[in-house]
Amino acid sequence: MDTLLLSRIQFAANISFHILFPTITIALGWVLLFFKLRFNRTGERKWMDLYMFWVKVFALSFALGVVSGITMSFQFGTNWPGFMETVGNVAGPLLAYEVLTAFFLEAVFLGIMLFGASRVPGWLHTLATFLVAFGTTMSAFWILVLNSWMHTPTGHELRDGVVHAADWWAIIFNPSMPYRLSHMLLASGLTVAFLIAGLSAYRHLRGDRTPEVTTGLRFGLILGAVLIPLQILAGDMHGLNTLEHQPQKVAAMEGNWETGGNVPLLLFALPDEAARTNHYEIGIPSLASVILKHDPAGVVPGLNDFVAEDGTVLHPPVAPVFWSFRIMVGVGMLMLAASWAGAYLMWRRGADRLPRPFLMGLTGMTFAGWVATLAGWYTTEIGRQPWLVQGVLTVEQAVGDIASGMVLSTLLAYIAIYIALLAAYIGVLFHLARKGGRYDAPVASPGMQPAE
């Protein structure tokens, strides 16, 4: 295999592994703040128990996110030197602001949040919890600004083949940023909702009936039920934004080859890029036109529009985009069904009397957010191919001149480590759940006193 392909697989492996953990910590930080504030207000022990259990998960996820993130920051230089050489004047300041406004804030106050409860006043511990949550969100903001700019670059000018920043406002608030950011923040919220619901269901199934478990279960299900309709709305708006700025990506997502009206929404198909058609199509007539144009006769762009005169294909590979999009939407629908069914069952029977099969289903969906998030990122990132920065820089232009054997050896090492760590991470989460999160120290320890 050549260096380009190996470098791409390596970056994909790194970033896929990395994003799993920020997806948890971004929202879990705010959830911890919520638990802490509830405890401050009510003084009820279950909120502190919840805090103490989930802060462990937060610490573990945070560590995995940090170390895999450091790997990524080095990969820019080791494997993709062309990226910073060409767009460094835009990407550089955005990344610098992420380090300055987010990384240090998170790292320093995490220490106080985890180990400082008995050493600092209660308000400072709550403030530290807030600053950690704020830091993770700032980090998400800067990185999504950069990623969105790579999809919909604005506010820059090219001089001698190098991008120079012209208008920082236009760069930061580039056309796809608000949609991509909200879509990702909601994805993080949903991932955490199902993580909390799933592990609480698992503990409930094992006979742990402490108030902490029931409250966790209720919290996760309600959070999921509230966020999923918002996410469907945000996803739809993001799709319309993509249609405007990257129509070839939407064409691949829909598996639509010919531009035209009354385009069906395909539920199943095997896109065949050699024959430039789909096999075994099953679809709902005109629904894609309705979703994208809000009109059954709406004209939706097709992939054949993105082939140059000389036959060069200018659209992304179809099958991976088509399928990852369907996986994302499918998991989203499953989340809708599960959280709304859960909300209904809780209303009818109470959170401590949910049927066993339902709890088993929730346990199975503990990491559903990860699946949807990864599938969504694959859709948008593969959908940008062959570009690295849409219309400015291709992936091929950015790759570094490293011997392919060297890339292969590091790739294999990373993959081995990532698989081992992922197994250890999931194993430890369920181990913590089996152990229970009982907070055994006296509730009256100095940092934990409820605010009077």
Partner 1 sequence: MFDPQTLPLIFAALMGVSILLYVVLDGFDLGVGLLFPFAAEAERDRMIASIGPFWDANETWLVLAIGILLVAFPVAHGDILTALYLPVAVMLIGLILRGVAFEFRAKAPLGHKRPWDAAFWAGSALTALAQGFMLGMYVMGLDWTWPKVAFSLGTAVALAVAYSFIGAAWVILKTDGALQRKAVRWAKGGIWGLVLGMGAVSVATPLVSPRIFDKWFRFPEIVALAPLPMMSALLVALLWLALRRLPTANDSFAWFPFAAATVLMVLGFFGMAYSFYPYIVPEKLTIWQAAAATESLSIILVGTLVVLPMILGYTILAYVIFRGKATKLSYD
CB of 174 to partner 1, least distance (A): 16
CB of 77 to partner 1, least distance (A): 3
Report d(CA 260, CA 246) in Å as an integer. Answer: 17
CB of 63 to partner 1, least distance (A): 4
Report d(CA 374, CA 106) in Å as an integer. Answer: 24
CB of 116 to partner 1, least distance (A): 6
Residues 6+ apart with CB under 8 A from 381: none
In degrees rounded to 5, what are phi and psi of residue 127? -60, -40
Residue 368's alpha-carbon distances to 26, 31, 298, 415, in angstroms, are 16, 18, 33, 22
- Tell me whether residue 101 or residue 397 sits nearer to partner 1 (CB atom): 101
Say if CB 111 and CB 132 are below 8 A apart.
no
CB of 428 to partner 1, least distance (A): 5
- Tell me whether residue 71 or residue 390 sits nearer to partner 1 (CB atom): 71
Tokens 């529009």, residue located = 305
- Tell me whether residue 146 or residue 354 sits nearer to partner 1 (CB atom): 146
- Tell me whether residue 116 or residue 320 sits nearer to partner 1 (CB atom): 116
CB of 100 to partner 1, least distance (A): 4
- Tell me whether residue 105 or residue 334 sits nearer to partner 1 (CB atom): 105
H or E element that contains 129:
helix 122-151
HSE-up (13 A, CA, CB side) for residue 142:
19
- Going by C-alpha positions, the residue among 297, 299, 312, 296 that lies closest to residue 259 is 299
H or E element that contains 163:
strand 162-165
- Tell me whether residue 159 or residue 294 sits nearer to partner 1 (CB atom): 159
CB of 30 to partner 1, least distance (A): 19
- Tell me whether residue 120 or residue 299 sits nearer to partner 1 (CB atom): 120
HSE-up (13 A, CA, CB side) for residue 272:
8
Residues 6+ apart with CB under 8 A from 37: 126
